[in-house]
Amino acid sequence: MKAGDEPDEQAIADAYVYLLARMLVIRQEGIDASEEGFAYNKVKYNPLGSAEFVNPNLDVAYLECWIAVDDDSVVLLTVPEIQDRYYTAQILDEWGEVIININERRTPSRSHGTFALTRPGSSPSIPEGATRIDLHGSKAKLLARVELKDDPDEALRLQREFTVESLGEVSVAPPPSIPDFENASLLGVEIFETVDEVLESAIDVAPGAAEAQVGVRSVASFVAASEDNRSEVEALLRDKIVPGFLGSIFTETTPLVNGWVGGIETGNYGSDYLKRTVLDLAGIWANTSAEVVYFASTMEADGTPLDGSSSYLLHFPGEKLPEAVVDGYWSIILVGLPDLRVVPNEMERYNFNSHSDLAMEPDGSLKIGIGPTPVDGVPESNWLPSPRDKSYSLTIRLYVPRESVFDRGWVPPAVVRISRSS
């Protein structure tokens, strides 16, 4: 901070990044709540292949639900018994922090059954046999996934056996009202206009949150003190802070190797508020790295941005195949920028995974071609269509990763340009 009560540029940047994480979750809650048929404590069973959200996971039967509880209520979550395929019931708080994953790895003593979701400090009646799980506040987001494998009908059957039931009437506070914004045009100084309402709407359990919130309130007070102050902060945000944040959101939070970022701890962020905000922006509801590790690329190894009009090769050597570093499964998906949503193509082919019918090379290696048309030297079965004249991002997911992923013994190979299409 500068002398007196005037925040310096770093203090404003820190406050902005911290607060933006909550704004991103509020925005997502509003998007979800605007859908037809939405209700708190009502499961949305996404149809197989649904891609109507950011960075979709097309390898699983997917369901989601906004959980809401109060001091007098309890919400019962039922998780079916599942064997021989990846699954998890992931619950996150209103800042994007993972509260728990329910599965045979993280909760081996209770990998399935009935779970009572409650507000911390409350004393509702818990049904016999239900396992209590305290949330971080009055709301949480449930995301459950069941791997399709080669039997999507069974995955769909299991998906429907996840259920949510509210015992008693729940008083649900609406999310705070915030301005509309997009990833490519983030909030400016208006982010500091409703600080009290936003911060009081959800408890932040991250270490140092109280100190960070003091900084946020200080900047908000400075902005509210005069039009000159507001204009000064707006100029800093517009000209330096927001462009700097958008321009370095990945490189400042994770090492860059072969043009890929990732392989980092996610899901719980400690006091690394920048990383939390980046993950909320780039792929909200990121899971813990013990469950899944993400690698993302928007560039070649030399930093040249990926171009949808060009053809590229992703070549995994036989001793570095992605299936060798997972105990679950792997996948790769292509999404457009900056919206991070799949780009329509005639083949409706957006991703590959462990169960895709990919042709291997004679030496045991794997080639994936990426381009607007089939890539020379790559079987068409291994072609991932790219959007002509549009930037895009590739994301590799490694479910239940092995130790070599964490110690950097394995990273994806560089995306290599083969040719530029006319």
Read off the CATH number of the domain in which 369 is found.
2.60.120.600
Answer yes or no: do 270 and 410 share one domain: yes
Which token pair is 99?
Answer: 């509260």
Tell me how crowded residue 279 is: count the other CB atoms within 10 A of its CB: 22
Strands 131-134 and 113-118: parallel
Q: Last residue of a domain, which of 204, 219, 247? A: 247
Number of domains, the chain: 3
Q: Which residues, other chains included, contact 186 with Cβ-Cβ below 8 Å and sequence gap of 6+?
A: 20, 242, 245, 246
Prediction pTM value: 0.88
Q: Last residue of a domain, which of 149, 167, 185? A: 167
Answer yes or no: do 366 and 269 share one domain: yes
Q: Which residues, other chains included, contact 418 with Cβ-Cβ below 8 Å and sequence gap of 6+?
A: 310, 311, 312, 313, 369, 371, 375, 376, 377
Q: Last residue of a domain, which of 247, 279, 309? A: 247
Q: Give exposure, 302-337, as e/b (b: 16+ Cβ within 10 Å).
A: eeeebbbebbbbbbbeeebbbeebbebbbbbbbbbb
Range of the structural domain that residue 69 is part of:
41-167
Contact 163, 82 (CB under 8 A): no
Answer yes or no: do 261 and 406 share one domain: yes
Answer yes or no: do 265 and 410 share one domain: yes
Answer yes or no: do 79 and 214 share one domain: no
Q: Is 210 within a domain? A: yes
Q: Is 35 within a domain? A: no
Answer yes or no: do 318 and 365 share one domain: yes
Answer yes or no: do 187 and 332 share one domain: no
Cα–Cα nearest to 89, from 127, 143, 19, 50: 143
Residue 221 CA to its chain's centroid (Å)? 32
The pLDDT profile of the chain, 422 residues, written as one tens digit per residue, is 444 479 999 999 999 999 999 999 999 999 999 999 999 999 999 988 655 555 566 788 999 999 999 999 999 999 999 999 999 999 999 999 999 999 999 999 999 999 999 999 999 999 999 999 999 999 999 999 999 988 999 999 999 999 999 998 999 999 999 999 998 899 999 999 999 999 999 999 999 999 999 999 999 999 999 999 999 999 999 999 999 998 777 667 777 889 998 888 899 999 999 999 999 998 899 999 999 999 989 999 998 999 999 999 999 999 999 999 999 999 999 988 877 778 888 888 999 999 899 999 999 999 999 999 999 999 999 999 999 888 899 999 999 999 999 888 899 999 999 987 55
pLDDT in tens, 16-33: 999 999 999 999 999 999
What's the confidence (pLDDT) of residue 251?
Answer: 66
- How far apart CA 266 and CA 96 sit, in angstroms, is 10
Which token pair is 170?
Answer: 């729940």
- How far apart CA 337 and CA 281 sit, in angstroms, is 12
Answer yes or no: do 222 and 358 share one domain: no
